[in-house]
């Protein structure tokens, strides 16, 4: 049977070659199916007719019933407009058109009753409605109106060809009549029944032509469920394939390196959470499958030492490991920390970054290839082609958000079998996102900070209160503590960046002058070694204050620092603010995070500041961030095409996601290859989608 849904859109009644061309170009609608999945962005309630006297400031789109009493053309050229007086039994209101004036003048019939649809706005302290939709009112019009009218996005080009929201709605209607009974179900009867879902066909019909409010809600629910269900089904499948078909390196031993470090060198007791995570990693490494684990832990939760201990297991099994970091400063930091922790242990650790000198680099490359180096820490310099390992068994990626999927794959490709991968992130990922994006990874969470840390006190000061901020700074410096002052990165203008930093330096040098005080400055214009020099001075305690743009955002560890001052805090994203705050509070003393802003805060800015004042918990921050921003612009998710849900909204639909996940899980438990007859709807659908690669080689 021919697949009706694949019919080219040109064959739809009322479309034709010209319209079909713009539909393709402007909306990507090539076939019936594309139109079927071109969903309205909003619905308006047309079941109610308002009166003019009821119009108030908070009305959005409304319907009015009345007559046009007079029309008049006002203004010249760009201000030229058509104004019509529209009246019902309660009053009158101006209707205004800026375009198609002649056409409107010709078509308006005086003393005829119209049903009007539009959005009132206020101009010169009077209500008016620009570009309303008008329909001659008759009993027939009334009947033909559905109570919930869908609104579709179109474009100027489409509107010029007469394809406005209404026209799309009409096309959808014509198509639905034609394909009735031919939309294949893609969920099994069991799943539909257990989750009390509408059928796929009924849902799609109601998305375009809602019968009523309740059915519309159920239709939307069904589509959301479907989207999330297939996402979860696919992720489980990927995970299954990884565990069963991709061979990994087996690390059967925990030997001298690990044990010596653990029993003799570790300067503190591990937290319960760190121990738990190391056990989880250990279990992965022992087995025959490749590890692919995401390690989440709030800033300061102690991920570095977990990474190190994992690498020591690799050493015990005669494998090399590497840590990839997004910045050179962070690579240096890890290098110093790890060298220091390992002290006199016989492990060869090296660092490879873009700024390594030629001779040194050659030596390092040689020693990576012959296996003399056990652990290498570096930036993306590590993924250059000339970097060859003797036997890379483990790759650790710190702060994964900054590495693209392709970059990661390149590193994996360096060895066969591909190394175990541990991805560490301090950016807490909200549960819904973690489930939908990383559902194929195993996840470990460090949900506990080392003991004896006092929660950081977060405060908000306006610019005007500099003296109070200075007071806190003086007190802390007097106690021997150190202070970060961070300025926002002004992306449009590096000069402006520098100006802010320099102005800040000038002001602070005035208040905290030499020789009693010393200040370090780090910004994007400095060379890597200059940055390093300034960072080192601060780290060694030679300077009291470190002024910087966001370069210290990731990973810097100076436990003696106790104050984080964030200038123009409203310019930072919520997660960024939280990351910055995590730079202090690493010692046993009370620490402070001071957010500085002007009075002119946007609502968004206020929300972020108040979220910071309200909680220290990274996961709560991540969830709030998702609510404030929506999931759209989380790094990498857009391009990856992983999260192209049409209706599901990860900031709201946790409950549906959980259901979908459970459903996918139980399905795969009983029918792992989805081959039972009752599950053919799912199988057929999967084989048609982008998910098919995971399912094609099913026998």
Residues that bind ligand ADP (CB under 6 A): 268, 270-271, 274, 297, 299-305, 426, 450, 557, 559, 586
Residue range at the interface with Mg ion (CB under 5 A); choices 21-29, 135-143, 311-319, 553-561: 553-561
Which residue from 37, 29, 24 is spatially nearest to 176, judged by alpha carbons?
37
For residue 453, the minimal CB distance to ligand ADP (Å) is 8
Query: Nearer to Mg ion by C-beta: 248 or 555?
Result: 555
Whole-angstrom Cα distance, residue 220 to residue 112?
A: 38
Q: Does 555 bind Mg ion (CB under 5 A)?
A: yes
For residue 425, the minimal CB distance to Mg ion (Å) is 9
Q: Which does 620 bind (CB under 5 to 8 A by kind): ligand ADP, Mg ion, none?
A: none
Q: Does 248 bind Mg ion (CB under 5 A)?
A: no
For residue 323, the minimal CB distance to ligand ADP (Å) is 11
Query: Nearer to ligand ADP by C-beta: 426 or 486?
Result: 426
Residue range at the interface with Mg ion (CB under 5 A); choices 23-31, 217-225, 379-387, 549-557: 549-557
For residue 593, the minimal CB distance to Mg ion (Å) is 18
* Bond before 417 cis per omega within 30 degrees: yes
Chain positions 650 to 689 lying near Mg ion, rule: CB under 5 A, are none
Q: Which does 535 bind (CB under 5 to 8 A by kind): ligand ADP, Mg ion, none?
A: none
Which residue from 96, 194, 68 is spatially nearest to 666, judged by alpha carbons?
194
Query: Nearer to ligand ADP by C-beta: 206 or 304?
Result: 304
Q: Which does 271 bind (CB under 5 to 8 A by kind): Mg ion, ligand ADP, none?
A: ligand ADP
Query: Nearer to ligand ADP by C-beta: 105 or 347?
Result: 347
Query: Nearer to ligand ADP by C-beta: 329 or 521?
Result: 329
For residue 326, the minimal CB distance to ligand ADP (Å) is 13
Query: Long-range contacts made by residues 95-103, C-beta under 8 angstroms, separation at least 24?
Result: 95/68, 95/128, 95/129, 95/130, 95/132, 96/128, 96/129, 96/130, 96/131, 97/130, 97/131, 98/130, 98/131, 99/131, 101/73
Whole-angstrom Cα distance, residue 635 to residue 642?
A: 12
For residue 338, the minimal CB distance to Mg ion (Å) is 12
* Bond before 19 cis per omega within 30 degrees: no
Size of the site for Mg ion (CB under 5 A): 1
Q: E-strand spans in 259-344?
A: 292-297, 320-324
For residue 586, the minimal CB distance to ligand ADP (Å) is 5
Q: In this structure, is the dihedral angle defined by the CA atoms of residues 307, 308, 314 and 317, taken in order, positive or negative?
A: negative
| DSSP character string of 81-146 | EEEEEEEETTEEEEEEESSSHHHHHHH--TT-EEEEEE-EEEETTEEEEES-EEEE--HHHHHH--
Give the residue at shortest CB distance from Mg ion: 555
Q: Which does 302 bind (CB under 5 to 8 A by kind): ligand ADP, Mg ion, none?
A: ligand ADP
For residue 322, the minimal CB distance to ligand ADP (Å) is 17
Query: Nearer to ligand ADP by C-beta: 271 or 694?
Result: 271
Which residue from 562, 556, 570 is spatially nearest to 488, judged by alpha carbons?
570
Give the residue at shortest CB distance from ligand ADP: 302
Which residue from 543, 546, 537 is spatially nearest to 566, judged by alpha carbons?
546
Instruction: Extract the tokens encoding 315.
Output: 């050493």
* Upper half-sphere CA count for residue 418 (Cβ side, 13 Å): 16
Query: Nearer to ligand ADP by C-beta: 31 or 482?
Result: 482
Residues β-bridged to residue 295 = 424, 444
Q: Which does 430 bind (CB under 5 to 8 A by kind): Mg ion, ligand ADP, none?
A: none
Query: Nearer to ligand ADP by C-beta: 439 or 450?
Result: 450
Positions touching Mg ion (CB under 5 A) are 555
């Amino acid at each position: 049977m021919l697949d009706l849904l694949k019919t080219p859109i040109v064959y739809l009644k009322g479309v034709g070659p010209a319209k079909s061309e713009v539909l393709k170009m402007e909306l990507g609608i090539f076939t019936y199916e594309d139109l079927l999945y071109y969903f309205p962005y909003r619905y308006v309630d047309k079941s109610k007719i308002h009166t003019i006297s009821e119009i108030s400031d908070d009305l959005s789109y409304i319907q009015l019933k009345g007559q046009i009493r007079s029309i008049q053309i006002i203004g010249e050229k760009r201000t030229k407009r058509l104004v019509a007086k529209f009246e019902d039994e309660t009053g009158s209101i101006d209707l205004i058109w800026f375009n198609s004036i002649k056409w409107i003048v010709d078509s308006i019939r005086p003393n005829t009753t119209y049903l009007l649809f539009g959005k009132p706005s206020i101009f010169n302290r009077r209500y008016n409605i620009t570009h309303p939709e008008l329909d001659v009112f008759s009993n027939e019009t009334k009947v033909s109106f559905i109570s919930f009218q869908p609104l579709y996005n179109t474009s100027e080009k489409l509107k010029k060809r007469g394809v406005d929201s209404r026209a799309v709605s009409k096309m959808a209607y014509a198509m639905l009549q034609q394909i009735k009974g031919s939309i294949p179900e893609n969920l099994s009867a069991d799943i539909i029944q257990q989750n009390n879902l509408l059928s796929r066909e009924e849902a799609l019909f109601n998305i375009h032509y809602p019968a009523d409010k309740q059915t519309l809600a159920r239709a939307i629910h069904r589509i959301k469920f479907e989207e999330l269900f297939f996402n979860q089904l696919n992720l489980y499948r990927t995970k299954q394939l990884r565990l069963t078909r991709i061979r990994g390196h087996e690390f059967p031993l925990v030997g001298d390196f690990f044990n010596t470090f653990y029993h003799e060198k570790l300067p503190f007791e591990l937290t319960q959470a760190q121990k738990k995570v190391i056990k989880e990693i250990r279990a992965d490494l022992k087995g025959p499958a490749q590890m692919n684990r995401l390690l989440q832990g709030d800033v300061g939760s102690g991920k570095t030492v977990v990474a190190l201990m994992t690498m020591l297991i690799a050493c015990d099994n005669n494998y090399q490991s590497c840590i990839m970091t997004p910045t050179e400063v962070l690579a240096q930091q890890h290098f110093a920390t790890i060298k220091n922790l390992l002290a006199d242990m016989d492990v060869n650790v090296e660092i490879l970054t873009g700024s390594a000198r030629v001779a040194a680099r050659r030596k390092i490359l040689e020693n990576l290839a012959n296996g003399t180096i056990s652990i290498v820490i570096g930036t993306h310099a590590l993924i250059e082609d000339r970097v060859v390992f003797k036997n890379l068994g483990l790759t650790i990626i710190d702060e994964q958000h900054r590495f693209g999927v392709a970059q990661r794959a390149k590193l994996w490709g360096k060895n066969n079998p591909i190394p175990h991968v541990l991805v560490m992130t301090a950016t807490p990922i909200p549960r819904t996102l973690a489930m939908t994006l990383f559902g194929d990874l195993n996840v470990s969470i460090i949900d506990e900070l080392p003991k004896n840390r006092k929660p950081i006190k977060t405060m908000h000061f306006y610019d005007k209160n500099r003296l109070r901020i200075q007071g806190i700074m003086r007190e802390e410096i007097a106690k021997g503590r150190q202070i970060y002052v961070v300025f926002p990165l002004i992306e449009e203008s590096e000069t402006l960046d520098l100006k802010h930093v320099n102005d800040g330096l000038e002001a602070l040098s005035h208040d905290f002058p030499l020789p009693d005080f010393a200040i370090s400055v780090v910004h994007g214009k400095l060379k890597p070694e200059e940055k390093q020099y300034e960072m080192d001075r601060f780290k060694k305690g030679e300077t009291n204050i470190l002024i910087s743009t966001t370069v210290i955002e990731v990973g810097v560890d100076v436990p003696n620092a106790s104050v984080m001052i964030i200038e123009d805090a409203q310019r930072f994203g919520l997660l960024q603010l939280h990351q910055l705050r995590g730079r202090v509070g690493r010692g046993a003393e009370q620490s402070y995070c001071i957010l500085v802003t002007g009075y002119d805060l946007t609502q968004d800015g206020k929300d972020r500041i108040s979220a910071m004042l309200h909680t220290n918990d990274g996961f709560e921050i991540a969830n709030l961030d998702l609510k404030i921003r929506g999931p759209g612009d989380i790094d990498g998710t857009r391009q990856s095409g992983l999260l192209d849900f049409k209706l599901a909204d990860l900031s709201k639909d946790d409950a549906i996601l959980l259901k979908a996940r459970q459903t996918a899980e139980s399905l795969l438990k009983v029918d792992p290859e989805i081959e039972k007859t009752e599950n053919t709807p799912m199988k057929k659908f999967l084989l048609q989608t982008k998910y098919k690669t995971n399912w094609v080689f099913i026998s």
